[in-house]
Amino acid sequence: MRLSQLLVSSGRTRTATASTAALVALASAGLLLLPGVSSAQSRVQVSPNTVLLGTAGTFAVLAGSGITNTGVTTLVGDSGSSPTSAQTGFTPCPAANCVTQTGANHTDPDPNDGPTQGAKAALRTAYADAAGRTPTEVPTELASEQPLVAGVYSSASGTFGMTGTLILDGENNPDAVWIFQTDSTLITGSAANVSLVRGAQACNVFWKVGSAATLGARSTFRGTIMAHDDISLGDAVTVDGRLLAGAQPSGAGAVTLIHDTIVRPTCATPATTPVVTPTEPVVTPTEPTVTPTGPVTATGPAPGTPPGGTTTGTTTGRTTGRTTGTTPGTTSQRSTTPGLPRSPGDSTSRQLTRVPAGSVPAGDGSAASGGGSAETPALLATAASVGLLALFLLPATRARGRHRSS
């Protein structure tokens, strides 16, 4: 291959590698849209701030033109209507048309009591807040296999419909917030459902409806509806949320119920892990108690050991010859044999052996004590032998002396 062709091929390879790296970077940043996938579906949005409901948050049903109920309905939360406080079918159960309620039912004459009027003012503020958020556009039909993560959503048509299941994915964030905006209506079909997964909570779902909201029979709905006008429910609808009607300046807006269940939602507090501060055990060092013991003193020599102790007494007689070897201790040379000259270094004239008193090493690490009464049999036998030899030699010595003198 020519050099020019090699350079061209190498340049193409570098260009392809750079292009691939750029595509990977765009995909990682969420800026590359795949065919048929909207921007809302291809990236995780930052959760918007929640909508503050103020005193309207304590109400399960809030209207402006009155509340009408048919059948047995269950309410968990407050109820009231202002400026028109009319209520129909709110007789306590049991009855054909009745309401079982946990919460306060505000029924003061028009324009109802102070809490209801304050709640309507709070509703208008919350409605304006939700309407002012910048949305991401999604299809009008909300029910699909693609979950929606936290965010603000609207449709091109200005309406929302739901005939199946809408999945809201909290991505394990309990504070994830959804805000849906319509310019006109919100309509759900029969048996439609809003499903919450991975930490999504109904208390953080808000529906700002530009005109009226209608929920189909036996549907399950989650979130707070803030309608400009009316809210109507079919038979046996379950709402995990709030029905707040009449957000318009005049406050007009009616709520119609038919054997339904409305439960005001509360946000679950995320469980916190307690902080445990490890502590080290306090160890008090203790010193072992040692009882000193004195040295073991041997009471006598072991058999087979060199003689020890002190030998006392007087050896008499005449000793001839020379004693060889080493005697442990000190030898005191003193002869008591009469007539024998005392010559220096003559061991025959002095045979008294003195062994030092006191403890004498025994050779095994112990000490043997010496004393005047510790003569060993070997030492006594030596002394006796010397004495007998002196007795035999004494006459011969005397005779030799007399012969020399004559």
The number of beta carbons lying within 10 Å of the beta carbon of residue 399 is 10
User: Taking 50 as the threshold, does the pLDDT of residue 114 lie above it?
Assistant: yes
Identify which has the larger pLDDT, 22 or 283. 283
pLDDT at site 144: 85
Overall average pLDDT of the 316-334 stretch: 48
User: Taking 80 as the threshold, does the pLDDT of residue 290 lie above it?
Assistant: no
User: Taking 80 as the threshold, does the pLDDT of residue 8 lie above it?
Assistant: no
pLDDT at site 260: 98
Q: Residue 92: which pLDDT band, with cuts at 50, 70 and 90?
A: very high
Of how many residues is the chain composed?
406
User: Taking 90 as the threshold, does the pLDDT of residue 155 lie above it?
Assistant: yes
CA 326 to chain centre: 82
Residue 243 CA to residue 224 CA, distance in Å, equals: 6
Structural domain spans, the chain? 42-263
Q: Residue 26: which pLDDT band, with cuts at 50, 70 and 90?
A: very low
Identify which has the larger pLDDT, 373 or 94. 94
pLDDT at site 44: 53
Residue 7 CA to residue 147 CA, distance in Å, equals: 49
Q: Residue 165: which pLDDT band, with cuts at 50, 70 and 90?
A: very high
β-pair type (78-81, 59-63): parallel
User: Taking 80 as the threshold, does the pLDDT of residue 154 lie above it?
Assistant: yes
What proportion of the chain, given as a percentage, has pLDDT over 70? 55
